Structure 1
Amino acid sequence: MNFLNTPTRNLFFTGKGGVGKTSMACATAVQLADRGRRVLLVSTDPASNLDEVLGTSLGNRPTPVNSVPGLFALNLDPEAAAAEYRERMVGPYRGVLPDAAVRSMEEQLSGSCTIEIAAFDEFAKLLGDKDATADFDHVIFDTAPTGHTLRLLTLPSAWSGYIEQNTTGTSCLGPLAGLQAQAAVYQKTVEALADAEATTLVLVTRAEPSAFREADRTSAELRHLGVNNQHLIINGVFTAESTSDPIATAMQQRAEQAIEGMPESLRGLKQSVIPLTGDGLMGVESLRTIGSDQHPVLPTLDQMTSIESYPAGLGELMDDLSSQRHGVILTMGKGGVGKTTIAAAVAVALADRGFKVHLSTTDPAAHVAATMAADQLVGLTVGRIDPVQETADYRDEVMRTAGADLDEDGRALLEEDLRSPCTEEIAVFRAFAKAVSEGTDRFVVLDTAPTGHTILLLDSALAYHREVTRQASQMPDAVENLLPRLRDPDFTRVLVVTLPEATPVHEAAKLQQDLRRAEIEPYAWVINQSLVPLDVSNRTLRHRQNNESPFLDEVTKTLASRVALVAWQTEPPTGLTGLRRITANNSSATTF
């Protein structure tokens, strides 16, 4: 990784979910620490897996990493940060104001806005306040999936502008004193991000068209924010040992075609290419080999065991899903596991059976349209929840209803409140609820956002209930009935999508626990992009195939009652033809 020749103090890793941001960030941190630097590695991802990759139990304070002198790591915990933020805001008023007033402040600070701004406070402190990280030579940020990252990076300007224009001293976060005190830190954060001498933005991608498109969009938006010092890592590039294995040849060709079609703006960036390895990048020793000439020794073919049994495909699962004849199907899981592809394949299969189907996404990165390509199918409509449009519509509705009978000062106050950055979150949440409600007379297939964002969305139902009623005059029926609909197994069916790898499986297990706490029981697990059903002879692919076995066992024997396995596709699974291949089998989804 040639950006390590002259590394800046701050290194930001971002990109589409599942491209290997955490592995690249961890490898960079380990290799810099091995050079004698003191390094702090920070995850801002709600679905962080730093602990697993580094083999060290982490918290929200810098913790020494096992066997790497000089390396410290931490996870920014949004919930813990929010609790500290609430107490910092409310604590000084306890015993000073009446109890009812203090309770009102606590209620006002219970929404998802508080979680977001509190987590951002921690992030800004590390990047914008040099004293907070004075003990370290480098600070490395393993950021959340792209949509969330961009929101994180635009918050300094958004909140600073809101503070400057707000004249009432209150906001959806309660008293603005806390925000005003942070304004200088926010400004320094913006300056640090744009300082090419201080910060490098490392865009991590894979040799896949969708990942390149996402990296291109991210690169452009970051340049618009003034973040111009960018480096591109193309991770997991596969090269076949010979032409004797058609699967290996197809995998290499797909990578070459994707790189050849890379957007021009990315070609101009400095680049590092990381080869695909035969095993998962877990543990410090594996991280030390990334980007170097060292390669782990792979077993010979006669040392590898065959996998004789595995779950079948999506065939009968589609029969079961279609039997309810209407309702909502959610694909959920860690970013990059193929939720969009599975959602699109399910939607096409249902439409092929004669049902009315609407396919949409709540994911800020929104890849549904690209997956569907230009194809059309009778009975199938495709859309997305557009945050910009939803926010504009929501503001208009609130001003038209709640603002109708207000005087000039009251309307000005309401308009000011609606300029808050959290208005977008409320608007998107309402649109999500509306999309779910449309499953009463058709199938609605929702490709949801990556795990952390999705759980915040689901867990925030009651918080949004309070927030919407604070601004609007009445609660929409769709929001009122959202949780009952999500909890009704005859109306909503959740497909937990994962890959046969350690981190996606364990993140999916956490997702399932969170869903069950919310009284939502997953309908089935879909293990995507598996090499196990394929006949491969390439040693790297055989080794990866063998490595899938324990994760297949973990899912089928301990985590799920219903499992479907989708093989890696030699042709990109886009367009109607490609999507139909995923559900073409007539086998049952195996029940364990």
Structure 2
Amino acid sequence: MHAAFRFLDNPPSFMFFTGKGGVGKTSLACAHAVLLADQGRRVLLVSTDPASNVGQVFKVAIGNSVTAIPTVPGLSALEIDPQAAAQLYRDKIVGPVRGVLPDAVVKSIEEQLSGACTTEIAAFDEFTALLTDPQMLRDYDHIVFDTAPTGHTIRLLQLPGAWDDFLEEGKGDASCLGPLAGLEKQRDRYHAAVAALADPARTRLILVARAQGATLREAARTHDELTAIGLTQQYLVINGVLPERESALDALAAAVVQREQQAIANLPSALKALPLDQIPLMPFNLVGVDALRLLLQSDTGDAAAIVPAIPAIATPPLSDLIDEIAENGHGLIMLMGKGGVGKTTLATAVAVALAERGHAVHLTTSDPAAHLEETLSGSLALLTVSRIDPHAETERYRKEVMDTKGKKLDAAGRALLEEDLRSPCTEEIAVFQAFSRAIREAGRKFVVMDTAPTGHTLLLLDATGAYHREVTRQMADTQLHFTTPMMQLQDPVQTMVLIVTLAETTPVLEAAGLQSDLRRAGIEPWAWIINNSLSAAYPRSSLLRQRAMNERAHIAAVATQYAHRYAVVPFLAADPVGVIRLEQLTRPIL
């Protein structure tokens, strides 16, 4: 018997699960897809997240082609792989003109299509096909989307309108997208995608959040932004709520229950009118079909099985890493990892700790969904805070180009240049320039960067690598000394990459995958941080103890298989917001 969760009622053809990274979108999307398939529906589960882990959840290699899930009849899955999609997109654009146009022109088109922006557009191209392909709609009763973290999703969902506007104007050289004709052919499909997204009879959007003020405020912002672009059929799901029964005889659990219930009682006004469901926290990891089926059951049982006291283990504290970082006196500290593992909190804590040791620190973020000011909740001497705002950086870049290149053009030339700078790809270039400025600043002070969730960060690093290759090629015949951003990222004296994870199956596997990607780019991670560890907090609640015991194997794997050095940060009863609570994260464990 399954729970009468409102978001499950009369599901339409398309369901989108979205929200801040780490709130459980993938688990809920997978569980919902399994439930529909168990009811005899034909279901396609699609991940549009560059850092997808749907395959890990089902223990099946999926990838960029529709793959049947053997353990769930009627369910198939697809992971839109941005790199594979980009290659298919490039082949589609370049193939027809190869051998027709001069080789130099073909090479120029290929170079235009080599950037990170093209990767995003290619993923969007596949995304719109799923919404509009008649054959897909005949083959499947439902398509369930596990979307990328919020900032990236908003951009993806806005693209149908953005590219439609761009095509309507019909000017410019389409920048890194290649020939404009390649997009003109998609006009009808883009219109159909916009119509499907805006039709409440066909599309439902499930906002997933945790019972935390920050993620609920993020959900409210997402609600407003999606409503503004016509997606009005929205439901709110608060995931991973600790049952009140667990608070008996456990101060930590009692504090969590009180904090979560207060957050739910104080829902942002934008969310109060939405249908609301609460999903209880489970004592087990949501990996495998059996675990997914339990997630949406109406009766998850009474309190978890009685678990005895957890034996102590010796794990290095974050303060040890801070002490070693501080010895350098300056440098770039980049915190990377899957969305929702606590990068923003830990980046802020590291910045605060370095400033309190007397170092000048610049704390910045490239994450479109990050809120450093909310986490810091105050000011500190020697610490400055900034955010790489895509809109502000794009305007800055446009002005710079018009003031330099545009200065020498006539009126007609300036008009053409302005049109080209309205290409949606301009934003990617502008954000990369801001990223490069932050890297240069690290030569004289500490720059602590809270990066975007993994997939988006890798796209940014890909842009850095492309820039590095271009500069190296141009400078090869000169005697001038030069340093590109990628060279600095690859220099372990200048840059320390801290991989943040949780002691759970999927986050650790995701972090290991990130480490492999970084190594392929010539960047060696300096340390790992295991955040929010219940094992290090020694709870008394049976449910929390069960989750804590599950952590031990993952902590051991990080210590012995993955990390040169690592630290474990215990789960705190109170949200680590404000300087005083942030300091608790970087104090030696007594």
Scaled by the length of structure 2, the TM-score of the pair is 0.95
> Would you say 1:575 and 2:578 are equivalent positions?
yes
CA distance in 2, matches of 1:31, 1:401: 58
> Would you say 1:458 and 2:477 are equivalent positions?
no
2:211/2:238 contact within 8 Å kept: yes
* DSSP 3-state at the match of 1:337: coil
CA distance in 2, matches of 1:368, 1:126: 36
Task: State the Cα deviation string for residues 59-97 of structure 1 (Å, max 9, x = none).
Answer: 212111122111110100111111111111111112212
1:185-584 counterparts in 2 under 5 A?
185-241=189-245, 242-295=247-300, 300-301=305-306, 306-373=310-377, 375-464=378-467, 481-584=484-587
CA distance in 2, matches of 1:468, 1:173: 22
CA distance in 1, matches of 2:314, 2:155: 40
Alpha-carbon distance, 1:467 to partner: 9.5
CA distance in 1, matches of 2:316, 2:306: 25
2:432/2:463 contact within 8 Å kept: no
Q: Judging changes above 3 Å, is the alpha-carbon distance between structure 1 residues 411 and 480 closer, same or farther for their aligned structure 2 residues?
A: farther
Alpha-carbon distance, 1:535 to partner: 2.6
Name which of 148, 164, 168 aligns with 1:160.
164
1:360/1:445 contact within 8 Å kept: yes
* DSSP 3-state at the match of 2:344: helix
1:394/1:427 contact within 8 Å kept: yes
**Residue equivalent to 1:88:** 92
Alpha-carbon distance, 1:317 to partner: 1.3
C-alpha RMSD over aligned residues: 2.0
1:114-153 counterparts in 2 under 5 A?
114-153=118-157
Q: Which runs of 5+ in 2 are unaligned?
A: 473-479
1:318/1:350 contact within 8 Å kept: yes
Task: State the Cα deviation string for residues 5-51 of structure 1 (Å, max 9, x = none).
Answer: 21111000100000000000001100011111101100000100001
CA distance in 1, matches of 2:367, 2:333: 15
2:197/2:203 contact within 8 Å kept: yes
CA distance in 1, matches of 2:162, 2:441: 33
Task: State the Cα deviation string for residues 214-258 of structure 1 (Å, max 9, x = none).
Answer: 101000000000111000000000024352111111111111121
1:278/1:298 contact within 8 Å kept: no
> Between Structure 1 and Structure 2, how many residues are aligned?
578
Alpha-carbon distance, 1:534 to partner: 2.0
CA distance in 1, matches of 2:468, 2:439: 16
Task: State the Cα deviation string for residues 256-295 of structure 1 (Å, max 9, x = none).
Answer: 1211222011111001110000001111111112232243
Alpha-carbon distance, 1:174 to partner: 1.8
* DSSP 3-state at the match of 1:274: strand
Alpha-carbon distance, 1:392 to partner: 0.4
2:310/2:535 contact within 8 Å kept: no
Task: State the Cα deviation string for residues 297-328 of structure 1 (Å, max 9, x = none).
Answer: 987436x6844424221122111110000111
Question: In the alignment, residue 292 of structure 1 is paired with which amino acid?
Answer: Q
Question: In the alignment, residue 127 of structure 1 is paired with which amino acid?
Answer: L
CA distance in 2, matches of 1:190, 1:465: 37
Task: State the Cα deviation string for residues 175-225 of structure 1 (Å, max 9, x = none).
Answer: 111111111111111111110111001000000111101101000000000
Alpha-carbon distance, 1:381 to partner: 0.9
CA distance in 2, matches of 1:48, 1:305: 36
2:85/2:119 contact within 8 Å kept: yes
1:232/1:269 contact within 8 Å kept: yes
Q: Judging changes above 3 Å, is the alpha-carbon distance between structure 1 residues 480 and 195 closer, same or farther for their aligned structure 2 residues?
A: farther
Question: In the alignment, residue 37 of structure 1 is paired with which amino acid?
Answer: R
Q: Judging changes above 3 Å, is the alpha-carbon distance between structure 1 residues 296 and 555 closer, same or farther for their aligned structure 2 residues?
A: farther
* DSSP 3-state at the match of 1:521: coil
CA distance in 2, matches of 1:14, 1:481: 36
CA distance in 2, matches of 1:305, 1:102: 67
* DSSP 3-state at the match of 1:287: helix
CA distance in 1, matches of 2:326, 2:465: 31
> Would you say 1:60 and 2:64 are equivalent positions?
yes
* DSSP 3-state at the match of 2:540: coil
Name which of 8, 33, 38 aligns with 2:12.
8
Q: Which moved more, 1:456-465 or 1:433-442?
A: 456-465
1:310/1:552 contact within 8 Å kept: no
Task: State the Cα deviation string for residues 459-501 of structure 1 (Å, max 9, x = none).
Answer: 22243569999xxxxxxx9x96211111111111111100111
% of aligned pairs identical? 53
1:38/1:70 contact within 8 Å kept: yes
* DSSP 3-state at the match of 1:172: helix
CA distance in 2, matches of 1:458, 1:123: 24
CA distance in 1, matches of 2:275, 2:497: 41
Alpha-carbon distance, 1:586 to partner: 5.9
CA distance in 1, matches of 2:192, 2:469: 33
Scaled by the length of structure 1, the TM-score of the pair is 0.94
CA distance in 2, matches of 1:170, 1:512: 34
Question: In the alignment, residue 280 of structure 1 is paired with which amino acid?
Answer: N
2:338/2:453 contact within 8 Å kept: yes
Question: In the alignment, residue 270 of structure 1 is paired with which amino acid?
Answer: P
Task: State the Cα deviation string for residues 395-421 of structure 1 (Å, max 9, x = none).
Answer: 000011111112233222211111111
2:114/2:176 contact within 8 Å kept: no
CA distance in 2, matches of 1:333, 1:199: 31
* DSSP 3-state at the match of 1:301: coil
CA distance in 2, matches of 1:93, 1:79: 22
Question: In the alignment, residue 266 of structure 1 is paired with which amino acid?
Answer: L
Q: Which moved more, 1:93-102 or 1:504-513?
A: 93-102
Alpha-carbon distance, 1:332 to partner: 0.6
Name which of 106, 109, 113 aligns with 2:117.
113
1:171/1:417 contact within 8 Å kept: yes
Q: Which moved more, 1:106-115 or 1:449-458?
A: 106-115
Alpha-carbon distance, 1:56 to partner: 1.9
CA distance in 1, matches of 2:24, 2:250: 26
Question: In the alignment, residue 256 of structure 1 is paired with which amino acid?
Answer: Q
Task: State the Cα deviation string for residues 95-116 of structure 1 (Å, max 9, x = none).
Answer: 2122222112111111112111
CA distance in 2, matches of 1:550, 1:305: 17
2:500/2:531 contact within 8 Å kept: yes
Q: Judging changes above 3 Å, is the alpha-carbon distance between structure 1 residues 405 and 169 closer, same or farther for their aligned structure 2 residues?
A: closer
Q: Which moved more, 1:17-26 or 1:51-60?
A: 51-60
1:172/1:417 contact within 8 Å kept: no
Task: State the Cα deviation string for residues 349-374 of structure 1 (Å, max 9, x = none).
Answer: 1111111111110000021111011x
